[in-house]
Amino acid sequence: CAGRAGPERGSRGGAAMDLFGDLRRMNKRQLYYQVLNFAMIVSSALMIWKGLIVVTGSESPIVVVLSGSMEPAFHRGDLLFLTNFHDDPIRAGEIVVFKVEGRDIPIVHRVIKVHEKGNGNIKFLTKGDNNEVDDRGLYKEGQNWLEKKDVVGRARGFLPYVGMVTIIMNDYPKFKYALLAVMGAYVLLKRES
């Protein structure tokens, strides 16, 4: 069995030395090729995301449920698929994702009351299935109803617990950066067979 002299691959310092050694052994053409591959992967992901935005009509076509306020319908970590076609009327019982002025994170809750005026304006009230009271306490001060402009999307489907990876990466930023570094190094150092 042939061996390799130097630091063991399992050690932290050894792995970093191997990474830099692999980079040094690549000629410029190979390195440019790997960087272009990485750029193509990133740009492809962005194009798919923008395409989903156009097809679904939602500024955020996929969201992760971050709390247990919608249990038992949705659990923390569920991945929701959204659409937001403005011609579709909002109805009581529908699950919407909305943004409130002053809050960065959208909220996933159910529409419990709808007010339709003669001029076509619609206002509605939301509530989490697992909450005791409606969402008026979550809206901006003085706001008692939501309008269509507040809606990011409407839930059309979901995958259970798939979004837990996102929650873990938000809760543990070091894990997120380590995962991104490993994925980036893999793409840059992966060689065609």
Catalytically active residues are 69, 109, 135
- What amino acid is encoded at 79 in this protein? L
Rounded Cα–Cα distance for residues 152 and 64 (Å): 13
Q: How many residues does the chain have?
A: 193
The pair of three-digit structure tokens given for residue 121, joined into one six-digit string:
């304006």
- At residue 29, φ and ψ (nearest 5 deg) are -65, -45
Sheet-wide strand order for 151-159: 62-64, 79-83, 151-159, 95-98, 107-116, 122-127, 146-147
* CA terminus-to-terminus distance, the chain: 23
Rounded Cα–Cα distance for residues 94 and 65 (Å): 16
